[in-house]
Amino acid sequence: MLVHPQFDPVAIHIPLGFTELAIRWYGLMYLVAFGLFVGLARLQLRRPHVAAQGWNARDIDDMLFWGLLGVILGGRLGYVLFYKPAYYFEHLAEIAQVWHGGMSFHGGFLGVLVAMAAFGASRGRPFFQLMDFVAPCVPAGLAAGRLGNFINGELWGRPTDVPWAMVFPQVDDLPRHPSQLYQFAGEGLALFVLMWLFSRRPRPTGMVSAAFLVGYGVFRFLAEFGREPDNFLGLLTFGLSMGQLLSLPMIVAGVLLGWAASRRVLPRALAG
């Protein structure tokens, strides 16, 4: 049985007179995620079928700015609306207090969709051409985020007796699934490899986006079986967690999008 290392959540302490600047691991993981996105997007520019679409380095920098807004605003609003709407409707001032925690991947994903739609419209880019460019670059950043969750010792797993079970002392003395590492390996590393290989060749517009929707939805759905549900929600319909219920529409949307992309019946305004 393993024990969580109980890392200091603050990576760097910088004394500043009577106080100090604390740089947290989770914040650093966000920076790593954005750095990976930029680096991978620039690598994509070397692919002939991508270069033929006219992408350049400035597009990537602007895309990152729009995406950052979408992640933060969508992630926070998604957590408020999907997980604790009653609480936040009674404490409206706390919605903006993101430093207290509370971000939703599914909300961040919707926020990025809106941000990318706005960015694409400003550049005259079809939506799914843009999302096909973005999708292979995202899972590496997700891996960084899940590593940040593990360092913080948050989003721990359900009790289990598997040989690699881990005790999280800040929770209790029960051996649990290290679910953060499951998500790091699944929706992070494994999905990155699959997406990067799948996108190497030209695909019908929308197909890479569809692969991401299905891939993330499946990996997240499976990982949730090992992750402890939020204590204020528990398990919901059919014994599924909120993360699983939010992943199911992603899988369905991905299958439908893949079908439409393979038959090239997506609206011209979306596919170009």
Alpha helix (H) residue ranges in the chain: 25-44, 48-51, 57-82, 85-90, 105-123, 127-134, 138-152, 179-183, 191-198, 207-223, 242-262, 268-271
Concatenating the DSSP letter of every residue in 80-117 gives HHHT-HHHHHH-GGGGG-GGG----HHHHHHHHHHHHH
How high is the pLDDT of residue 109?
87
Let me know: does 144 contact 33? Beta carbons within 8 Å.
yes
Confidence of residue 53 (pLDDT cuts 50, 70, 90): very high
Evaluate if residue 102 carries a pLDDT over 80: no
Rounded percentage of the chain residues whose pLDDT exceeds 70 = 99
Let me know: does 223 contact 184? Beta carbons within 8 Å.
no
How high is the pLDDT of residue 105?
81
- pTM (two decimals): 0.90
Tokens 């957590």 correspond to what residue? 79
Per mean pLDDT, which range of 21-35, 89-103, 231-245 is the poorest?
89-103
What average pLDDT does this structure show over 157-164? 96
What average pLDDT does this structure show over 125-147? 95
Q: What is the mean pLDDT of the chain?
A: 92
Evaluate if residue 35 carries a pLDDT over 90: yes
CA atoms within a 13 Å half-sphere pointing along the CA-CB vector of 33: 23
What average pLDDT does this structure show over 135-156? 94
Cα 34 to Cα 67: distance, rounded to the nearest angstrom: 9
Domain positions in the chain are 128-272
42 marked as part of a ligand binding site:
no
pLDDT in tens, 9-27: 888 888 877 778 888 888 8
Confidence of residue 99 (pLDDT cuts 50, 70, 90): low
